[in-house]
Amino acid sequence: MRHPALLAFCSDQAASVTDEIVDLFDEAIAAAHGRAKRKLIEKKLETATSQNQKVRLLAKLLEILLDPVQRALAPLESEGWRLRHSLPWQGRGDIDSIAIAPTGFAFTIETKTRTYTAEHLARVRDQTNWLSATDIAESIGRSN
pLDDT digits (tens, 9 = 90+) for 92-135: 677 888 888 888 887 888 777 777 788 878 877 887 777 777 66
Cα-to-chain-centroid distance, residue 98? 26
Cα 28 to Cα 141: distance, rounded to the nearest angstrom: 69
What does the chain come to in residues?
144
Cα 30 to Cα 7: distance, rounded to the nearest angstrom: 34
Confidence check: pLDDT of 141 > 70 = no
**More confidently predicted of 141 and 12:** 12
Tell me, yes or no, if the pTM score tops 0.85.
Answer: no
**More confidently predicted of 142 and 77:** 77
Would you report the helix, strand and coil content of the chain in percent, each value rounded to 5?
70, 10, 15
Give residue 144's pLDDT: 43
Q: Which long-range contacts (CB under 8 A, 24 or more apart) does 32-38 make?
A: none
28-50 pLDDT, tens digit per residue, is 999 999 999 999 999 988 888 88
From its phi and psi, is residue 81 left (phi > 0), alpha (psi between -120 and 50) or beta? beta
Cα 77 to Cα 80: distance, rounded to the nearest angstrom: 5
Confidence check: pLDDT of 143 > 80 = no
Give the side-chain half-sphere CA count within 13 A for 8: 5
**Domain limits of the chain?**
1-74, 80-143
Give the side-chain half-sphere CA count within 13 A for 37: 6
51-81 pLDDT, tens digit per residue, is 888 888 887 777 767 678 888 888 899 999 9
Cα 138 to Cα 140: distance, rounded to the nearest angstrom: 5
Give residue 86's pLDDT: 81
